[in-house]
Amino acid sequence: MPDEDLCRRFRAARRDPERTVLEGFHALKHALRFGAEVEIAVATDAAELETLAAALAPDLAGRFEAVVETVGPEALAGLVPQAPRTGVVAVARRKQADLAAALGDPREAPFVLLEQPRNMGNLGACVRVAAAADAAGLLTIGENDPWHPDAVRGAAGLHYALPVVAAVERAPGEEGRPLLALDPEGEEIDPAAIPPRAVLAFGTERHGLSEKLLAAADGRIALPMRAGVSSLNLATSVAAVLYAIRLHSGPA
């Protein structure tokens, strides 16, 4: 494949609402593990990826050499804004998720709602921790695309491990899923009191949640913090709440 054609396909994928770009070994690893349809994958050393797989992902042994084409370092560096240290990038189709179906998941697992997330790397970190904590899904409200390649990189490709949906403006409504807002004025979190299928809403670090979403919430919870500390990083807040719930609930 000519380098110019390859560059064109990667550029197009970054703007394509049906595709995303995977950057690095871990992003491709998780995408393959959770069933992504990988259309293009290139690396500077496919054999080295198999060495990494043998150490870190033995369940995927042989998968990398089967999908990856070899390119030179300069060619790979021209495909993405910042070439990953592991020397592999790919284009994959996004995992399509229906919001109603995701909210209807009958498991006793919380659902994460992010209102107006700003930083794509931070958004990706929220997806990563939501996947690790086995949340039912993650929803964003706002103009930013949760499948932006920078978010997928921050999530290490774990968008494929759970439903990740953009709702634009609409807050979720689903019987049996009360909406709980993380708010400094809320009651200190008590994992035992959180309904097992709650939607947990998180706002921006600077402004918090909108008045509209706060008014729609069935309750407000807060994380205890030392006096003088004004806020937590968004992904840290999501991790703290999800793991407080998970540790209280015990093994899945």
pLDDT in the model for residue 170:
55
- How far is the first Cα of the chain from the last one, in angstroms, to the nearest whole number? 46
The pLDDT of residue 69 is 95
Q: All domains of the chain, ordered by start, with CATH?
A: 3-93 (3.30.1330.30), 99-249 (3.40.1280.10)
Contacts made by residues 121-124, CB under 8 angstroms, sequence distance 24+? 121/150, 121/151, 121/153, 121/154, 122/154, 122/233, 122/234, 122/235, 123/148, 123/151, 123/154, 123/234, 124/150, 124/151, 124/152, 124/153, 124/154, 124/155, 124/156
Q: What is the mean pLDDT of residues 66-82?
A: 94
Using the predicted structure, report yes or no on whether residue 169 has a pLDDT greater than 70: no
Dihedral sign from CA coordinates of 184, 190, 194, 199: positive
Q: Which residue has the higher pLDDT, 60 or 252?
A: 60
DSSP character string of 59-120: GGTTHHHHHPEE--HHHHHTTSSS--TT-EEEEEEPPP--HHHHHT--SS--EEEEES---H
> pTM of the predicted model, to two decimals?
0.93
In this prediction, residues 187-204 reach a mean pLDDT of: 94
Name the least confident of 44-53, 58-67, 224-233.
Answer: 224-233
The alpha carbon dihedral of 30, 18, 139, 119 has a sign of positive
pLDDT of 231 higher than 90: no
CB-based burial label for 234 (10 Å; 0-12, 13-18, 19+): buried
